[in-house]
Amino acid sequence: MRVELSQAGLDIQERDFFKDPFSREEIYNLLGEKDPSEFFSFRSPSFRKLGMERNSINSDTLIDLMLSEPRLIRRPLISIGTQTIVGTDRKSLAEILG
């Protein structure tokens, strides 16, 4: 995805959110109108260790978990203007880059 962004002439700024964690406000800004479950890595070993049932977790708890354990945030997160792409969704990236 880095190649597509570079070819589109976008300035790429990377952030290691393990070293520089997101604040609650930043998470809400990235989410926009999206459901927090779209940003949550349910396949992560860190999630499996919690022993929680996916369907029993509300949005606020998902955000709390992502803030306390960054490994639970799906990666990469790509923010272009007001749009945020989660994971390797090349179709959405192509649509945004037009």
What mean pLDDT is predicted for residues 76-83?
84
Pairwise CA distance, residues 91 & 71, whole Å: 24
Residues 41-50: pLDDT tens digits? 999 999 999 9
Distance between CA 87 and CA 7 in Å, rounded? 19
Question: Dihedral (C-alpha) 88, 47, 56, 68: value to the nearest 10 degrees?
Answer: -90
- Rounded CA gap, 60 and 14, in Å? 26
Higher pLDDT, 79 or 34: 34
CA distance 36 to 66: 9
Residue 67 in this model has a pLDDT that exceeds 80: yes
- Give Cα separations from 7 to 4, 13, 37, 38 (angstroms): 5, 15, 30, 27
Domains annotated on the chain, with CATH? 2-11+20-97 (3.40.30.10)
Tokens of 50: 């919690």
